[in-house]
Chain A
Amino acid sequence: MQPVQHNLPQFVVLIGASAGGLEALGRILPVLPAHYPAAVVVMLHQAAGSQSLLPEIFAHRVALPVKEADDKEHLQAGTIYFAPPSYHLLLEKDVSFSLSKDPPVHFCRPAIDILFDSAADALGPLAVGVLLSGANEDGAAGLAHIAREGGVTLVQRPSDAQIDTMPASALALFTPDHLLSAADIGKQLAICNIGECRGTR
């Protein structure tokens, strides 16, 4: 049924961030090693526009290839995908992306909750959800969903976040596997094995 895929990711890291998240991403993404066995999906709330500047910003600061996520694209290991502005981004069961123009959630499109919910459904224990600095509660419920489906969850420690509303919203809902500074989230993710990345609570 599935198309033949080379370089199928061993697991998928999903990072949601909003205000203050760019700085945190700058401490996380450069830490990920070349030949990373997972695919990395980054969703940062940003002003509506047709093109995301993030792939350009990070291209020369990270060891992995970066690109904007395309509709129906199959995720590859060792690639960092950025969510395009003004569309929701969802993960399908065959580990491909879908875009949607459905109405905003929490006034956000893209909404991190939609990405995380779809990833929890599609990947179960192979989803690694990360929630960083932000000024609203988008992503908190989705991250809890990832946890319920057996995925790994990491939240930026509120004191380490430029704006702590987003991480605090997640902590109000559930206890993540890891509560860390952005630098330590980078180190934790750089562990290339999902079992070790999960660690102990």
Chain B
Amino acid sequence: MYPASDFDLEMRLLIEAIYGKYNYDFRNYSGASVKRRIEHALLQMECRTVSALQEQIIHQPDRFGVLLQYLTIPVSEMFRDPAYFLAIREKVVPLLHTYPSIKLWIAGCSTGEEVYSMAILLKEEGLLERTIIYATDINPRSLQKAEDGIFPLDTIQLFTSNYQKAGGKGEFADYYTAAYGSALFDKNLRRNITFADHSLATDSVFSEMHFISCRNVLIYFNRELQDRAFGLFSSSLVHRGFLGLGSKETVQFSSHAASFEAFDRQERIFRKT
């Protein structure tokens, strides 16, 4: 192992300070990505050193709100990886139909793109009325955006194309109203959605789920934290419940591997055994 630099040392202290003061736990995040994000935050927040940033974080809580935006960069799109949603539609939905009521958890929902994608899919499959969707994230600003359901109009072209590739059964334009350069998504889609603050690093199981979708969140965790998250998912899921992951994520190398079997290997959908 190459020796730690001053930056590494300062970064560790900052992360401890954030945990001690605000109970946000980045201690088991992948170090290389956190480092890039802190470097970026230093430039944007005009701090010369991580120690200078740390002083602000400890003494000015509003500055933590700013830093959190850089530590949890929201990057998503609706129906991202259309084949994933197509697999849900064709393979998972028929099994979900056998439940009188369904609970779905989107863990790390960021600004809500996947939440609305899932709501649209369930509506078209006649399941939305009997589904409760829990959409959770650690970033309150992202959650608020998700709840608002407003996306920039210039993203709609991509979202529409994804929707069609994902087996969309209607007109994507029917789900939003365009105004002032934004697309406001149909309020009826979010009638059964609960947006909530939840951390995979510090919080515990909160309900029994039939389907958990957590995509491109775990790649930012180290193995230990990934294991914690998989443990939460395993405890949350009903027997034979589903877990959907990002296209390069797998439960295979975790200590909970034995609790899951591959349901659609290509689309990274697993099923609790």
Interface residues of A (CB under 8 A from B): 2, 50, 70-72, 84, 86-87, 90-95, 98-103, 114, 117-118, 121-124, 126
> A82 to chain B: closest CB distance in Å?
13
User: B223 near A72 (CB under 8 angstroms)?
Assistant: yes
Which of A70, A92, A103, A126 makes the CB contact (< 8 A) with B32? Answer: A92
Chain B residues lying within 8 Å of A103, measured Cβ to Cβ, are: 73, 75
- Contact check: which of B2, B36, B81, B83 meets A102 at CB < 8 Å? B36
Residues of A within 8 A of B37 (CB): 102
CB-defined contacts of B83 to chain A, threshold 8 Å: 50
| A162 and B30 alpha carbons, distance in the complex (Å) | 36
Q: Is B131 an interface residue (CB 8 A)?
A: no
**A146 vs B4: C-alpha distance when bound (angstroms):** 16
Decide if the interface of chain B is mainly helix, strand, loop or mixed: loop
Contact of A87 among B8, B222, B248 (CB under 8 A): B248
State whether A93 and B1 are in contact (beta carbons under 8 Å apart), knowing that A87-B248, A100-B220 are contacts in the complex: yes
Bound state CA distance, A36 and B31, in angstroms? 28
Nearest Cβ in chain A — how far from B73, in angstroms? Answer: 6
Among B36, B248, B253, find the residue whose CB has the most chain A CB atoms closer than 10 A. Answer: B248
Do the beta carbons of A114 and B31 come within 8 Å of each other? no
User: Which residues of B have CB within 8 Å of A117?
Assistant: 36
Q: Which residues of B approach A to under 8 Å, CB–CB?
A: 1-5, 8, 30-33, 35-37, 73, 75, 81, 83, 216, 218-220, 222-223, 226, 246-250, 253
Q: Which 10 residue pairs spanning A and B have beta carbons closest together?
A: A90-B32, A98-B30, A118-B32, A124-B2, A99-B219, A101-B216, A100-B33, A71-B219, A92-B32, A50-B247
Q: How far is the CA of A71 from the CA of B36 in the complex (A)?
A: 17
Least CB distance, A3 to chain B, in whole angstroms: 9
* Residues of chain B lying within 8 A (CB to CB) of residue A84: 248
Which chain B residue lies CB-closest to A101? B216
**In the bound complex, what is the Cα–Cα distance between A93 and B36 (angstroms)?**
14
Q: Which residues of A contact B247 (CB under 8 A)?
A: 50, 86
A50-B81, A102-B36 as given contacts; A94 in contact with B1, CB under 8 Å: yes
A117 to B40, CA, bound (A): 13
B5 touches A121 (CB 8 A): yes
Q: Which residues of A contact B250 (CB under 8 A)?
A: 70
Cβ contact of A99, chosen from B3, B5, B35, B248, cutoff 8 A = B248
Given the interface contacts A72-B223, A126-B2, does A101 sit within 8 Å of B31 by beta carbon?
no
Nearest A residue to B249 via CB reads A71
Known: A71-B249, A84-B248, A98-B220. 7 other contacts (CB 8 A): A87-B248, A93-B2, A99-B248, A101-B219, A102-B37, A117-B36, A122-B2
Q: Which residues of A contact B81 (CB under 8 A)?
A: 50
Picked from A2, A86, A121, the residue with its CB within 8 Å of the CB of B35 is A121
**From A72, A84, A92, residue with most partner B Cβ within 10 Å:** A72
CB atoms of B219 and A92 under 8 A apart: no
Q: Mind listing 27 A-B residue pairs with CB under 8 Å? A: A2-B1, A50-B83, A70-B250, A71-B218, A71-B219, A71-B248, A72-B222, A72-B223, A72-B226, A86-B247, A87-B248, A90-B30, A92-B30, A98-B30, A100-B30, A100-B220, A101-B75, A101-B219, A102-B33, A102-B37, A103-B73, A114-B36, A117-B36, A121-B2, A121-B32, A121-B35, A124-B2
A121 to B3, CA, bound (A): 9
Which chain B positions have C-beta within 8 A of A118?
Answer: 32, 35-36
* Distance to closest chain B CB from A155 (angstroms): 23
Given A103-B73, A117-B36, also A72-B253 (CB < 8 A): yes
By a CB distance below 8 angstroms, the chain B residues around A50 are 81, 83, 247
Complex Cα–Cα for A72 and B247 (A) = 14
Contacts of A114 in B (CB 8 A): 36
- Cβ 8 A contact of B219, one of A91, A98, A122, A124: A98
Docked-complex contact A98 and B248, CB < 8 angstroms: no
Q: Which A residues touch B8, using CB under 8 A?
A: 93, 121
Complex: A2 Cα to B216 Cα, angstroms: 25
* In the complex, chain B residues whose CB is within 8 Å of the CB of A72: 222-223, 226, 253
Closest to A69 in B: B248
Complex contact A102–B219 (CB within 8 A): no
